[in-house]
Structure 1
Amino acid sequence: MNRIFSILVIITVPLAIIGSFLEWPSIVMFVLCSLSIIALSSFMGRATESLAIVSGPRIGGLLNATFGNAVELIISVFALQAGLVGVVLASLTGSVLGNLLLVGGLSFFLGGIKFKRQKFSVHDASHNSGLLIFAVVVAFVIPEIFSMTMTDRETIQLSAGISIIMILLYLAGLIFKLVTHRGVYTHSDADVEEVREEPEWTKPKAIIILFAATLVVAFISENLVHTFEEVGEQFGWSELFIGVIVVAIVGNAAEHASALMMAMKNKMDVAVEIAIGSTLQVAMFVAPVLVLLSLFMPVQMPLVFTIPELVAMITAVFLTINATNDGESNWFEGLTLLAAYLIMGIGFYLL
């Protein structure tokens, strides 16, 4: 699999760069840019896996989520500059659904087929459950309800205030998990397994690959954004579908690949941390940062989602909480999450 992604990088990245200068057709650029980002994301996933072995599951999962979400953040910034606010909000929805239902579901399903019963930290699951409820059910619903009786300017002000609070709480959560309570709720057997495994790349090499891949992805992402409108018209895709499904899957390819690899190795602490940790980072950091950045752009982005988006995200949150609160997973729970994702995908396609 790694060889396939390496070949993809060698072929698609140069073609995507050449095509951007020669102004190739949008559909060709869309395919090339998407394949390039997915292939580069595999390198980001391998690099963060190496760092996870050295640093432990929590920091490794956080690094994977951060660099994986960096791809989506870059794509979203270019989309905001192009005035595609609907695509950006939809991509944030897609990230929440994709990480919780698609990544989490596939991790539980594939890992559960190989190992009948997989365990992870119930304390981390409980902590993440509370944050998921706050980030999606509280911080996303409040702007929607209050905006009904507010002007556009007041809605933007409310969104900016909520964004600042969410960023501060997210940073406080990192301090709680990585500093003040680091190691308090750690599985000792998981730690032993991490120490015995040798990383694929050294720490400096992994960091260099992460930064290099992120820079290339930033360039290619700008070209990908410019293809959305024309490709959407050709295939009959709405902005909502492009954001929820296409941008979310391409933008989060790094986490998708890494979480599945970890689940297949029975490293569910890392897999769950990637799936849920990435969701929390999107909801509590990426989305607020985009709201604040939009204040300096021609078109501001309020933290107001459509009713279908909100219902889908809230449903995904409670399904995930129900599947993870006991600290164990199996293939049937994974299949349930995947079924929910497919149902929502059909709904968003038909909207």
Structure 2
Amino acid sequence: MKGVPIMNKVFIVLVFGGVPLSVIGTLMHWSSILLFIIYCVTIIALASFMGRATESLAIIAGPRIGGLLNATFGNAVELIISIFALKAGLIGVVLASLTGSVIGNLLLVAGLSFFIGGIKFKRQSFNVYDARHNSGLLMFGVIVAFVIPEVFSKSMDASKTLIFSIGISVILITLYLAALFFKLVTHRGVYQTKDESRALHADEVPEWSKGKAIAVLFLATIAVAYISEHLVHTFTEVGKTFGWTELFIGVVIVAIVGNAAEHASAIIMAYKNKMDVAVEIAVGSTLQIAMFVAPLLVLISLFFPTTMRLLFTLPELIAMVTAALLMIVISNDGESNWFEGATLLAAYVIMGIGFYLL
């Protein structure tokens, strides 16, 4: 491994040691606390591989597709965990993890990206047109699609609320696919600045080839999904040991661990001053959770005994709306710095304390 950066060597050791340990520990029923630690460390190491693969694809395909690929592979883990939770009837945990993903991406991931990138560079910029486009989608996907069902459900019975949730889910998925078609097909490059156009044609060499990067993403996602599925089963014992409530585990722990891949990737991209990719990962992942993963889970739940409705608790709704509005205000100018990152992180810590004490 001559010439490989020291941190990459560490992650290689953790992956090739952590994955077998995770399988062996699961089969031999080791302590839940020990398995929890092994699972988390292994997922973080796998996330580093996903980040490197995504960076290679971003150089080859451009920041938008690179960010979209990372958000998709990262959210695949969240989707798999949620499907198993739905099957077990844990609707509250699923909704809490969705909440955690939204506030985690908008406040923690974006906050760390802005903060760490801002320490190295006094001012970083990203596509202002993308930022404004995403602002409208955030308003719709988080505020309209999540708040409206809660308001109208006050005057509906359970069956009508479910029908309403199904209708909203179909609309959300349709609009999300239309948004992808808009950005990647009909208006691809239309709002690209001259600086970005030159950047895309810069003489950058990807670390891995397209085939190898896709293969690494695919294999790492399978490994993360396997480990994450078993990680969920350790939460009850871990919660009792550390005094964590089910809501706190769903909003904070599941969301952070389940989205570790894009967390790592966004921070790495920001540190390398590739803010278009970093912002696309943080905001794009949020939009994918709100407009695709959440409504898809509503439709999937129809095949299980317990159905899920798009009804969040008041603290969850307020947290998501606040995170969306704060991100819109901070990112609408297409620039970021370490202080804006610190502001987002402070909001996340405040919400985390609130959910812990709730």
Scaled to the shorter chain, the TM-score interval is: over 0.9
Q: Is 1:221 equivalent to 2:228 in the alignment? A: yes
Runs of 4+ in 1 over 4 A off after TM superposition: none
Q: Is 1:261 equivalent to 2:262 in the alignment? A: no
What is aligned with 1:60? 66
What is aligned with 1:23? 29
Question: Mean alpha-carbon deviation: is it higher for 274-283 or for 37-46?
Answer: 37-46
What is aligned with 1:143? 149
For residue 352 of structure 2, the aligned residue among 345, 348, 351 is 345
What is aligned with 1:232? 239
Cα pair 2:97 2:254 within 8 Å, conserved: yes
What is aligned with 1:101? 107
Find the aligned partners of 2:56 and 2:24 in 1 and give their Cα distance: 32
Cα pair 1:101 1:316 within 8 Å, conserved: yes
Find the aligned partners of 2:154 and 2:164 in 1 and give their Cα distance: 12
What is aligned with 2:209? 202
Q: Is 1:6 equivalent to 2:18 in the alignment? A: no
Q: Is 1:87 equivalent to 2:93 in the alignment? A: yes
For residue 124 of structure 1, the aligned residue among 112, 117, 130 is 130
For residue 172 of structure 1, the aligned residue among 165, 178, 181 is 178
Deviations 1:162-187 (A, max 9, x none): 11100000000000000000000113
Deviation at 1:161, TM superposition (A): 1.1
Deviations 1:64-87 (A, max 9, x none): 110011111111111212222111
Deviations 1:1-54 (A, max 9, x none): 222221111221111101111112222222222222222122111111110110
Instruction: Describe the SS at the equivalent of 1:149.
Output: coil
Matching residue's letter, 1:204? G
Cα pair 1:112 1:118 within 8 Å, conserved: yes
Deviations 1:210-245 (A, max 9, x none): 111111222222211211222212222111100111
Cα pair 1:104 1:272 within 8 Å, conserved: yes
What is aligned with 2:326? 319
Find the aligned partners of 1:153 and 1:326 in 2 and give their Cα distance: 43
For normalisation by structure 1, the TM-score amounts to: 0.97
Cα pair 1:56 1:191 within 8 Å, conserved: no
Report the count of equivalent residues.
351
Cα pair 2:47 2:265 within 8 Å, conserved: no
Seq. identity, %: 71
Instruction: Describe the SS at the equivalent of 2:303.
Output: coil
Instruction: Describe the SS at the equivalent of 1:295.
Output: helix
Find the aligned partners of 1:10 and 1:25 in 2 and give their Cα distance: 21
Deviation at 1:153, TM superposition (A): 2.1
Deviations 1:96-130 (A, max 9, x none): 11111111111111111111111111110000000
What is aligned with 1:158? 164
Instruction: Describe the SS at the equivalent of 1:196.
Output: coil
Find the aligned partners of 2:248 and 2:216 in 1 and give their Cα distance: 32
In structure 1, the gaps of 5 or more residues are none
Cα pair 1:78 1:225 within 8 Å, conserved: no
Matching residue's letter, 1:108? F
Find the aligned partners of 2:31 and 2:92 in 1 and give their Cα distance: 24
For normalisation by structure 2, the TM-score amounts to: 0.96
Find the aligned partners of 2:160 and 2:43 in 1 and give their Cα distance: 37
Find the aligned partners of 1:85 and 1:5 in 2 and give their Cα distance: 34
Cα pair 2:114 2:341 within 8 Å, conserved: yes
Find the aligned partners of 1:36 and 1:296 in 2 and give their Cα distance: 32
Matching residue's letter, 1:71? V
Find the aligned partners of 1:151 and 1:4 in 2 and give their Cα distance: 54
Find the aligned partners of 2:165 and 2:41 in 1 and give their Cα distance: 34
Find the aligned partners of 2:194 and 2:256 in 1 and give their Cα distance: 34
Q: Aligned ranges for residues 243-262 of structure 1 at < 5 Å?
A: 243-262=250-269
What is aligned with 1:309? 316
Find the aligned partners of 2:299 and 2:38 in 1 and give their Cα distance: 31
Deviation at 1:261, TM superposition (A): 1.0
In structure 2, the gaps of 5 or more residues are 1-6
Instruction: Describe the SS at the equivalent of 2:154.
Output: helix
Deviations 1:243-270 (A, max 9, x none): 1110111111111111111111111111
Find the aligned partners of 1:20 and 1:40 in 2 and give their Cα distance: 18
Matching residue's letter, 2:84? F
